[in-house]
Structure 1
């Protein structure tokens, strides 16, 4: 089950069927909700969170910082595993040639850097406008491509116009996920910026997708990003919020085409080794099998109950995609 505020459905179903509960946690939800949107019923939220965490056979988190958060809440360290986010290396395959988007924009002979993701405050995308200005603005050979939508998009568009960058900055708004690789292929370099005050518990999907395409990547030195990118080997890092350092890196790398290519290749190799969804699925299955085996080893102990068989043995997989009412459990089981 993916952990959600006030949700105990997975816990109740696991208890009803006497099967293991693996809980996926992507953020410290109580803290995040309180900070970003305001938290109603905080006591209920914290109590529910602790109840679900105590009940889970194993907790899967996306970063080391979240692992620390779990153990601080009292979860035993041996019940917490870090499985970062990942990429689909088939959809996000290596760049063979630039997409036609560059031709459409009239940027065939320009150096294009850009960002793909949600335009939200913690991504700090506005620093890319500052970098664009420092690189020479409208009179320079650089162009900026911003792909995605979000609450900051209109502010970014307005600011680009005020800075005289309207003709050299292109924003797409929301696009289908399947089209993202085409836009990345229009870039010479991808950037993963984060605001200097951004929380560090995240696991950056966009970074893994950039790297899976063998894109040269420049990213803010923050949280898990610093663990994934090895400077000058799989990418480059800059101090969050430092537009001068970011612009300096982009300007230095622009003429170093072969160096960028070699680093991009190494970045994809890193993803293929550790950060694919298939790799993550294998880890989750292995953890589930260990949990089941542990239950079996105690099934003859005093007062112990036999664990339900695993899915591979014909046991139930519970789907809680809609509310389940008393007497309806059978209709929610699939083989």
Structure 2
């Protein structure tokens, strides 16, 4: 019987978009034909208890390594090959191509017939540096296919591969659960809870790090408030940039118009999207292209919720927007032109209910037609 071994660092309860991608795909594979080999989320009793509770709820087998970060070391490679043989797996899915895909040849020798490695944004960064570029080339040669999120990541990763490996790349983006993210997800209750029922709301759902562009939104708020005086920016999520963002809101003089929720449980995210009238995350590329947005699943989740989106132009983010139909792509950054452009698009949407409705409905249809998990999981099954 065909079975698949997933080898990954990116698996819940560790939070994040890649983790959600892997887990959602895993749930759509046959559970008795799946084994997951993953790193431990965090050390200590709390992390161990959360991990054990999560693993116990899964319909498939989860094996945790003692480390918090799997690397293609001899020990980890030996453990992966042992699990492959023990469970009779004939295919392997590397949750992140780099660096775990370097184990491909060893797993092939152990009996794996299909090796699939999924790339995210960081592999595009690897492709720019000589040393990591050579390792990425080895991964392409040692696996059957490297999947990519969108055209941005494909073009940059393909440039580091041999022509044969580049030709074998396959599009496999994350999907959206359209039954979870929908226009009636509970946004009105969140607005009421936060005292925002009668105010236009710009919502940003994301981890708080500089690349995501929450600072651009805060800098744009004076321009937005000048034309939509009761507007509010709802910043949903936690992260290391939060204190800097709070200080920026005070410095710019818009602290009263910016609300921070902190980290929100995953089950409450759909309602927090629904609390907005417009979704905005003007992400930008940093560190010479090494810190880049791979796709931006948040834009698609917002579209599924029926919101128009304002997206930054970092990496593959534009792949998650039909520019002019489901929202707009703006130039990311904190310079005056980028801030003004972002603010102008947001004001236009806040002042035009019919435009918001039209873009939101088009985004919902696009998700249903193209981005549903079931459609994308079928593509993965075929690859495996």
CA displacement 1:291-322 (0-9 Å, x = unmatched): xxxxxxxxxxxxxxxxxxxxxxxxxxxxxxxx
Identify the match of residue 240 of structure 2 among 133, 151, 159.
151
Q: What's the TM-score, normalizing by structure 1?
A: 0.75
User: CA distance change for structure 1 residues 53 and 251 in 2, over 3 Å: closer, same or farther?
Assistant: same
What residue is the counterpart of 1:240 in the other structure?
A: 332
Structure 2 stretches of 5 or more lacking a match?
Answer: 1-93
What residue is the counterpart of 2:363 in the other structure?
A: 267
Where relative contact order (Cα < 8 A, 6+ residues apart) is larger, the structure is 1
What residue is the counterpart of 2:113 in the other structure?
A: 19
Structure 1 stretches of 5 or more lacking a match?
Answer: 36-41, 289-335
Residues 156-171 of structure 1 aligned to structure 2 (within 5 Å):
156-171=245-260
Q: Radius of gyration: which is bigger?
A: 1
CA distance in 2, matches of 1:121, 1:226: 18
What residue is the counterpart of 2:159 in the other structure?
A: 72
What residue is the counterpart of 2:268 in the other structure?
A: 179
User: CA distance change for structure 1 residues 137 and 179 in 2, over 3 Å: closer, same or farther?
Assistant: farther
CA distance in 1, matches of 2:285, 2:161: 30
What residue is the counterpart of 1:330 in the other structure?
A: none
> Secondary structure of the residue that 2:294 maps to in structure 1?
coil
User: CA distance change for structure 1 residues 237 and 34 in 2, over 3 Å: closer, same or farther?
Assistant: closer
Q: What's the TM-score, normalizing by structure 2?
A: 0.66
> Secondary structure of the residue that 1:219 maps to in structure 2?
strand
Please say if residues 114 and 146 of structure 1, whose CA atoms lie closer than 8 Å, have aligned partners that are also in contact: yes
Please say if residues 11 and 21 of structure 1, whose CA atoms lie closer than 8 Å, have aligned partners that are also in contact: no
CA displacement 1:145-184 (0-9 Å, x = unmatched): 0001112111001111222222221111111111111111
**Cα RMSD (Å) of the superposition?**
2.7
| Alignment pair present for 1:230 and 2:326 | no
Please say if residues 5 and 30 of structure 1, whose CA atoms lie closer than 8 Å, have aligned partners that are also in contact: no
CA distance in 2, matches of 1:203, 1:264: 19
Structure 1 residues 188-197 or 18-27, which shifts more? 188-197
What residue is the counterpart of 2:45 in the other structure?
A: none
User: CA distance change for structure 1 residues 70 and 224 in 2, over 3 Å: closer, same or farther?
Assistant: closer
Deviation at 1:269, TM superposition (A): 0.9
CA distance in 2, matches of 1:58, 1:149: 35
CA distance in 2, matches of 1:16, 1:167: 60
Identify the match of residue 218 of structure 1 among 310, 322, 329.
310
Residues 1-335 of structure 1 aligned to structure 2 (within 5 Å):
1-2=94-95, 3-5=97-99, 8-29=102-123, 31=125, 43=131, 48-75=135-162, 76=164, 77-95=166-184, 98-136=187-225, 140-195=229-284, 197=286, 199=289, 202-241=294-333, 242-288=338-384
- The answer to which structure has the higher helix fraction is 2
User: CA distance change for structure 1 residues 11 and 118 in 2, over 3 Å: closer, same or farther?
Assistant: farther
CA distance in 1, matches of 2:100, 2:252: 45
CA distance in 1, matches of 2:117, 2:186: 41
Please say if residues 175 and 372 of structure 2, whose CA atoms lie closer than 8 Å, have aligned partners that are also in contact: yes
Please say if residues 66 and 201 of structure 1, whose CA atoms lie closer than 8 Å, have aligned partners that are also in contact: no
CA distance in 1, matches of 2:304, 2:119: 24
CA distance in 1, matches of 2:217, 2:152: 27
Deviation at 1:196, TM superposition (A): 5.8
> Secondary structure of the residue that 1:246 maps to in structure 2?
helix
User: CA distance change for structure 1 residues 70 and 233 in 2, over 3 Å: closer, same or farther?
Assistant: closer
Deviation at 1:286, TM superposition (A): 2.5
